[in-house]
């Protein structure tokens, strides 16, 4: 395995690069995740098929909802506005339906963009390490303060008086 930092050739059993000292464990885990095997290839194909099916189903649902909203708007327009019974209420209902649909579309698109960003840049997810790992990092150790450099040298030095009295 080659070190991602300096390019030195290391054996796969090494935990640290012999040239620069980089921790190679995470790099080797990442590489192993990216190498496809038969089981992972099947899972990837299945997830792609499920994603295509989901896109088809959501597209159909969106089309049905759009048709229903159009039918409701047509009904409001023909019953309230064209007859002149409740023109203002009809216009307000149509505006409400249109902006509710636009808000729903915005939320859907916004969430899909967030998912795509999270897939392309996993560093955006700020995950804390497990409790056990944090506990290892924060070991309780006996604290002993270091001796001060100025400990025994704080005596006053002789200073010559440079002020002269004028007579």
Tokens in use for 140? Answer: 């309780």
At 80 the pLDDT is 85
- The pLDDT-based confidence of 135 (bands split at 50, 70, 90) is low
Q: How far apart are CA 23 and CA 118, in angstroms?
A: 25
Q: What is the pLDDT of residues 2-35, one digit of tens each?
A: 888 888 888 878 888 888 888 888 877 777 777 7
Mean pLDDT of the residues in the chain:
79
Give backbone dihedrals phi and psi of 155, rounded to 5 degrees, phi first. Answer: -70, 150
Helices 87-120 and 38-76 meet at what angle, rounded to 10?
170
CB atoms under 10 Å from CB of 76, counted, come to: 20
DSSP secondary structure of 71-93: HHHHHHIIIIITTSSSHHHHHHH
Domain ranges of the chain: 1-35, 37-122
Q: What is the pLDDT of residues 142-164, one digit of tens each?
A: 667 666 666 666 566 666 777 76
What's the mean pLDDT in 103-126? 80
Q: Which residues pair with 18 in a beta bridge?
A: none
């Amino acid at each position: 395995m080659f070190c991602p930092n300096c390019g030195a050739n290391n054996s796969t059993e090494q935990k640290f690069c012999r040239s620069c000292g980089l921790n190679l464990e995470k790099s080797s885990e990442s590489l192993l995740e990216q190498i496809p095997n038969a089981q992972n290839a099947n899972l990837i194909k299945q997830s792609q098929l499920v994603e295509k099916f989901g896109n088809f189903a959501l597209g159909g649902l969106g089309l049905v909802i759009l048709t229903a909203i159009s039918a409701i708007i047509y009904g409001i327009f023909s019953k309230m506005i064209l007859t002149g019974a409740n023109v203002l209420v009809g216009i307000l209902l149509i505006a409400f339906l249109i902006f509710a649909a636009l808000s729903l579309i915005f939320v859907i698109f916004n969430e899909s963009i967030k998912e795509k960003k999270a897939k392309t840049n996993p560093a955006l997810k700020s995950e804390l390490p497990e409790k056990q790992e944090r506990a290892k990092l924060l070991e309780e150790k006996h604290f002993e303060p270091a001796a001060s450099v100025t400990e025994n040298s704080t005596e006053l030095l002789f200073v010559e008086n440079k002020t002269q009295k004028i007579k």
